[in-house]
Structure 1
Amino acid sequence: MAIDIVSRKDWGARAPRGSYSSLSRNKGVKVHYTGGRVEPSIVDDHARCVAMVKSIQNFHMDGNGWIDIGYSMVACPHRKVFVGRGPGHVCAANGAGLNTDHYAVLALVGNSGLVQPNDEMLLGVLDAIDYLRERGGAGSQIKGHRDGYSTDCPGDALYAWVKKGAPRPGDGETPPDPDPQEHPKFPGRLLKYPPITRGEDVRTWQAQMKKRGAAVDVDGAYGPASREVCLDFQREQGLDADGVVGRLTWDAAWEAPVS
């Protein structure tokens, strides 16, 4: 199958704010995920994939202050490959000092919602890698973003596939589901109220507490109701009852037996 390219014009990319740095050859490609929630509905609606790529570009340009989207290419669950910075250009997504060593290919999965890449997405990632090898001098390496950089990216499921050598789906290898006994690393910031703490880490903790039977809304906002759930849980586990989700409380949410 020929690569199904979505050109910058076709996905409505903004023009870069400056000139890219040129890149003729490098070691290969690093695979990424979004690092946030990806709505599973994108699997059934390619228009949502387009909207997501545009939002990522907006965040990179307006939030990070980059000249363009940071990724070289983006693969979606319909085996379509979006041109980001494209071949021959230094990316911005691998981390300071690492962008000239590898291109960056994003798979549209995240740390919640859609976390497991389907076969079409994996094939899209491989199509993007072939494209960067043919047109951008990418070397043979296929690595995860976390290789050489302190990050959870590209997530456990996608990284397991990368560590197996990025096998082509249908060749008998598929990425396993992350171990259900594993839990996300402590995010490094305390979840506490007041003021209200918001974010995907709050949503992750709320979802786990709800699985444990707590009456809590999974809304990503750590307000007074979440604090009460935290206090009850800390008392139950014999932890300091301060209503703050620190490392011990976070770990216990996954590791403590459910009574």
Structure 2
Amino acid sequence: MKFVSRAQWRARPSRYPLTYIRSTRGVKIHYEGTAVPASLARPENHTRCAGRVRDLQASHLANQAEDYSDLAYNAIVCPHGYVYEGRGAHKKTGANGTAALNSAHYAVCAMLGNTGLTTPTDAQLDGLRDAIEWLRTSGGAGKEIRGHRDGYPTACPGGPLYAWVQRGAPRPGGSKPQPPRQFEPFPGAAWFKTNPRSPIVTAMGRRLVAEGCSAYAQGPGPQWTDADRASFRKFQHKLGDAPEHCDGWPGPRQWAALKVPKL
């Protein structure tokens, strides 16, 4: 997954504390619903995408009628397949239409409009699937994949994208089932105290960033540092562990919950 954290796209802070949700029935797919330039899909124009996410957040924060806490979506996917962290996992969305709908499903928005760029690229469809899988593994999302219009009177997510949702939201290039995801085995509690330098540390750090538990000023990287320990401590608190188990040193149960992809 080509993941872009809130820090990386320079998100503004939320206006109010975001509501924690343990799990959802699934994910609802959205589009912007306004004009999106067709030229945005060109490879050289990916540099515009982070700015577009910032603009979307600014417009939501300025919407006095809705009084949004933050960007309404849990994630946004650009035409180049990058997944931009919005509210993130375990955060109630503000995009589905009502409080009950917002609690039932996460919201993932594609950078598509009702004019200009209206048909998703293959890279974008891959990114949407990546966002769905991320919310399943990191946010407790269920198996349902729906469109915004399912349960709320709206044209969102537009005809082309909704047709993809109705087909079961397949990845481009075939409908072969994906193999079960493999996770990195726990390297042992003592291993982390040896000041390791390993790709496992980088992979762990990226998962901590995806979980919203980053204490990194830069990175993460392969060398275990105090920032890794501080980030893991945040994850332990997120899991609701007792204070004596929130020391920043990974344990086997906590490691299993983090689900570090197998290298």
Q: TM-score normalized by structure 2?
A: 0.64
Could you tell me how far apart the structure 2 residues matched to 1:32 and 1:135 are?
20
Alignment correspondent of 2:56: 56
Given residue 74 of structure 2, which amino acid in structure 1 is its aligned partner? Answer: S
TM-superposed CA distance for 1:144, in Å, is 0.2
Q: Which digits, 9 at most, give the CA deviation of each residue in 1:44-68, with x for residues without a partner?
A: 2112211111111011111242110
Secondary structure of the equivalent of 1:169?
coil
Alignment correspondent of 2:89: 87
TM-superposed CA distance for 1:172, in Å, is 6.3
TM-superposed CA distance for 1:41, in Å, is 1.7
Kindly report structure 1 stretches of 4+ aligned residues shifted beyond 4 Å: none
Given residue 92 of structure 1, which amino acid in structure 2 is its aligned partner? Answer: G
Map 1:101-140 → 2, pairs under 5 A: 101-140=104-143
Given residue 46 of structure 1, which amino acid in structure 2 is its aligned partner? Answer: H
Secondary structure of the equivalent of 1:105?
strand
Map 1:60-209 → 2, pairs under 5 A: 60-63=60-63, 64-96=66-98, 97-171=100-174
Given residue 34 of structure 2, which amino acid in structure 1 is its aligned partner? Answer: G
Could you tell me how far apart the structure 1 residues matched to 2:175 and 2:18 are?
39
Q: Is residue 2:4 matched to residue 1:6?
A: yes
CA RMSD of aligned residues (A): 1.2
Given residue 11 of structure 2, which amino acid in structure 1 is its aligned partner? Answer: A
Q: Which digits, 9 at most, give the CA deviation of each residue in 1:155-180, with x for residues without a partner?
A: 0000000001001100169xxxxxxx
**Alignment partner of 2:28 out of 27, 30, 40:** 30
Given residue 149 of structure 2, which amino acid in structure 1 is its aligned partner? Answer: R
Alignment correspondent of 1:177: none
Compare CA radii of gyration and give the structure with the larger one. Answer: 1
Unaligned stretches of 5+ residues in structure 1: 174-259
Aligned length in residues: 171
Secondary structure of the equivalent of 1:29?
strand
Given residue 34 of structure 1, which amino acid in structure 2 is its aligned partner? Answer: E
TM-superposed CA distance for 1:42, in Å, is 1.3
Given residue 123 of structure 1, which amino acid in structure 2 is its aligned partner? Answer: D
Could you tell me how far apart the structure 1 residues matched to 2:175 and 2:131 are?
21
Q: TM-score normalized by structure 1?
A: 0.65
Could you tell me how far apart the structure 2 residues matched to 1:37 and 1:48 are?
15
Could you tell me how far apart the structure 2 residues matched to 1:66 and 1:35 are?
18
TM-superposed CA distance for 1:104, in Å, is 0.1
Could you tell me how far apart the structure 2 residues matched to 1:86 and 1:127 are?
13
TM-superposed CA distance for 1:111, in Å, is 0.3
Could you tell me how far apart the structure 1 residues matched to 2:171 and 2:127 are?
10
Could you tell me how far apart the structure 1 residues matched to 2:54 and 2:90 are?
21
Q: Is residue 2:37 matched to residue 1:39?
A: yes
Could you tell me how far apart the structure 2 residues matched to 1:15 and 1:42 are?
26
Q: Which digits, 9 at most, give the CA deviation of each residue in 1:172-216, with x for residues without a partner?
A: 69xxxxxxxxxxxxxxxxxxxxxxxxxxxxxxxxxxxxxxxxxxx
Q: Percent identity?
A: 46
